[in-house]
Amino acid sequence: MSPGKQVMVASRLAKRVQYNELSNYKDYYHLITHPQHAEEFQIMVNILTTNETYFFREPKHFEYLEEQILNTWKGSVFRVWSAASSTGEEAYSIAMVLAEKLGSRPWEILGSDLSTRVLEIASEGVYLMDRLEYLEQKYLTKYCLRGVRSQVGMMRVVDKLKDQVKFSQINLMQNLPYDMLQHYDVIFLRNVLIYFDNETKKAVVERVIKALKPGGHFFISHSESLHRVTDQLDMVKPSIYRKR
């Protein structure tokens, strides 16, 4: 770990060392690696992951989805996987675009993450109103309920949308369940590859694109690159790829 990272990890875990009445990080390491303390291990994962996200982050991706993919899509059920969905804003942004564009045609979204803390927030679908800067008024009016009384300053995603978005814990470091293989028309894997070294990045991308249908689209962040990572994807635009 670089010195900068060490400081970050130490400061994030300091409270847990204290909470468990331990005197150093070595003892904490022994604690979390003991099978009896799986719960503490998950707490550590929740604390160590960086979960920054917001509605319609990198708006060009949602425009592309709407104009280039959905306009010409023909099929039975349109399926999207928001891998590393964090607190759910990405999955619900996609849901708003699908609901608007596909109307009554069927669609499903899976949002997944390693952190159980963010998955709980995502499943609730309740967000602070002052974090909705990039959410267009048309979507806000149609797909969000403003909180009243004790909920003032919050909004809740409407049930009609929430019902079609499921959240589940998936570790991108592990093999995917069999039923996810070639299951998705579109996969968003944005702002997570930056946390991996090159070898891990390759393994994660290879694994994730197994879930993509041939011809399906794959989105990464504009700040990430797939240079020399896989030969199974063709770039259609910077940060947007298509499976062969």
Ligand X SMILES: C[S@@+](CC[C@H](N)C(=O)[O-])C[C@H]1O[C@@H](n2cnc3c(N)ncnc32)[C@H](O)[C@@H]1O
Contact residues toward ligand X (CB under 6 A) are: 49-53, 57, 84-86, 90, 113-115, 118, 171-173, 190-192, 195
CA angle 178, 183, 161 (to 5 degrees): 115
Q: Is 149 among the residues known to form the active site?
A: no
CA angle 46, 47, 51 (to 5 degrees): 70
User: Whose Cβ is closer to ligand X: residue 52's or residue 197's?
Assistant: 52
Could you tell me the two tokens for 123?
């499943």
Catalytic residue selected from 12, 16, 105, 131? 12
The DSSP output letter for 147 is -
Output the CA torsion sign for 134, 139, 140, 144: negative
C-beta of 34: minimal distance to ligand X in Å? 21
C-beta of 27: minimal distance to ligand X in Å? 25
C-beta of 189: minimal distance to ligand X in Å? 7
User: Whose Cβ is closer to ligand X: residue 25's or residue 134's?
Assistant: 134
User: Whose Cβ is closer to ligand X: residue 105's or residue 123's?
Assistant: 123
C-beta of 181: minimal distance to ligand X in Å? 18
Question: Treating both helix axes as pointing N-terminal to C-terminal, what angle do 38-48 and 3-19 enclose, rounded to 10 degrees?
Answer: 140
Distance CA 220, CA 61 (A): 9
Q: Is 12 among the residues known to form the active site?
A: yes
User: Whose Cβ is closer to ligand X: residue 19's or residue 195's?
Assistant: 195
CA-based nearest residue to 212, from 77, 92, 80 = 80
Q: What are the catalytic residues?
A: 12, 113
